[in-house]
């Protein structure tokens, strides 16, 4: 095996990095995950994830974790309603959608991000994940890398895999290509104990998802574990707006005033989102890597997930792409088809970029569609077509 007696460092303990660690561990390889969080519960995990048969679920199956996933996913959380700004429902699959249909092309079971992380963490040997390791820099040495962390410690690895997200600090050691702003910004909020604090929204959501479309702005809501609701206000904006201090993300009165102005044609009931959300609301400008990015492969460094191909979330491919990256990279590194680590990485990166480019193009197109004047009926047509297959 090409990686026998090699030390492997994965920078970042998100779903992609942890999936890769599990797959490499199953091959008996020496792998460490360096994660900047101080512990598994250091911060609230994001919105639920819908996993796809050919990518996220395929990776979990290869990792021997599909049974754990099935025991912990959220039945019914993939049910959707599409409505307008006045809460009129134009599409719903709540009545006819099966709660469990593994193996079906369009079944995308939901799982809370934190729960998925725990499944992956619990599958790893003690000491594989090293907490409190914020990446600082690294230097090539002896064919590998000396990695320096903010706490002053240094670790050596023969192979480094960057899984540290959209703002990857490792990526520049491989390529100087940077993402571009898509023109869309999302404000992310979270409501705890929604049945108590936001009963109207909680009843409307009914344990599933809502996509509500106005003229050019959206509200996207989803059920989370622990009776929580996550939501996004999504709209087109200049990048300068996010940092303009026009909105104080920690000031509820200011947020409500902004929402009343930006979403002025929306029913007043939607204000419950911002009235009951935890603060601060988190602004998320949506970026995308160039669709034609290329770089020269290295034998001691590669990328996966958002570090490699950050893209808009409007095709539901982000975590699925990262987990598929992990699956394909582990298979390339294990395959006897390739004579060297360099050749294995080069093949992985070529296929990964091609696959990611197609997904990013779909995400960009969907983002434009979802923020256009005809968004409501376009999305109804899209989901109706899938439902009827």
- Binding residue numbers for NADPH: 43
Read off the tokens for 67. Answer: 């049974």
Is 328:277 a contact under the CB 8 Å cutoff? no
CA–CA gap between residue 235 and residue 298 (Å, rounded): 39
CA distances to 29, 30, 75, 311 from 127, in Å: 14, 11, 33, 32
Task: Annotate 328-360 with b (16+ C-beta within 10 A) or e (fewer).
Answer: bbbebbbeeebeebebbbbbbbeebbebbbebb
CA-angle at 126, arms to 121 and 127, nearest 5°: 100
CA–CA gap between residue 270 and residue 261 (Å, rounded): 13
The annotation places the binding site at 43, 50, 113, 306
Q: What is the DSSP letter of 224?
A: -
Q: How many CB atoms lie within 10 A of CB 256?
A: 14
Q: Provide the pairing of β-strand 30-34 with 7-11.
A: parallel
CA-angle at 99, arms to 96 and 105, nearest 5°: 85
User: Angle between the 318-334 and 15-26 helix axes, to the nearest 10 degrees?
Assistant: 20
DSSP 80-123: EEEEETT--EEEE-TTT--S--TT-TT---EE-HHHHHHHHHHT
CA Rg, the chain, in Å?
21
Beta bridge partners of 137: 148
Residues 6+ apart with CB under 8 A from 358: none
The annotation places the binding site for FAD at 50, 113, 306
């Amino acid at each position: 095996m090409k990686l026998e007696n090699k030390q492997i460092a994965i920078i970042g303990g998100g779903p992609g990095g942890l999936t890769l660690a599990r797959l490499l561990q199953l091959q008996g390889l020496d792998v460490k995950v360096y994660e900047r969080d101080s512990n598994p519960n250091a911060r609230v995990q994001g919105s639920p994830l819908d996993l796809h048969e050919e990518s996220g679920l395929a990776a979990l199956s290869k990792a021997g974790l599909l049974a754990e996933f099935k025991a912990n996913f959220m039945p019914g959380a993939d049910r959707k309603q599409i409505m307008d700004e006045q809460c009129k429902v134009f599409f719903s699959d709540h009545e006819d959608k099966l709660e469990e249909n593994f193996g079906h092309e369009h079944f995308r079971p939901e799982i809370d991000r934190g729960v998925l992380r725990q499944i992956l963490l619990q599958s790893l040997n003690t000491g594989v994940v090293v907490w409190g390791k914020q990446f600082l820099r690294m230097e090539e040495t002896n064919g590998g890398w000396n990695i320096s962390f903010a706490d002053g410690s240094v670790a050596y690895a023969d192979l480094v895999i960057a899984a540290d997200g959209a703002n990857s600090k490792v990526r520049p050691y491989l390529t100087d290509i940077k993402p571009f702003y898509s023109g869309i910004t999302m404000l992310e909020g979270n409501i705890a104990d929604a049945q108590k604090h936001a009963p109207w929204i909680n009843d409307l959501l009914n344990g599933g998802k809502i996509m509500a479309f106005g003229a050019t702005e959206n509200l996207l809501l989803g059920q989370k574990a622990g009776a929580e609701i996550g939501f996004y206000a999504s709209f087109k904006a200049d990048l300068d707006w996010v940092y303009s201090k026009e909105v104080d993300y920690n000031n509820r009165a200011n947020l409500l005033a902004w929402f009343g102005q930006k979403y002025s044609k929306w029913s007043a009931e939607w204000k419950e989102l911002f009235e009951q959300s935890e603060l601060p609301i988190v602004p998320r400008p949506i970026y995308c890597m160039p669709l034609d990015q290329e770089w020269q492969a290295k034998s001691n460094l590669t990328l996966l997930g958002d570090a490699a191909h950050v893209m808009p979330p409007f095709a539901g491919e982000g975590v699925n792409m990262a987990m598929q990256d992990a699956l394909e990279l582990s298979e390339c590194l294990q395959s006897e088809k390739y004579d060297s680590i360099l050749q294995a990485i080069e093949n992985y990166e070529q296929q990964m970029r091609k696959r990611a480019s197609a997904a990013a193009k779909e995400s960009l197109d969907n983002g434009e569609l979802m923020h256009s004047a005809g968004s409501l009926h376009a999305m109804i047509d899209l989901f109706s077509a899938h439902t009827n297959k």
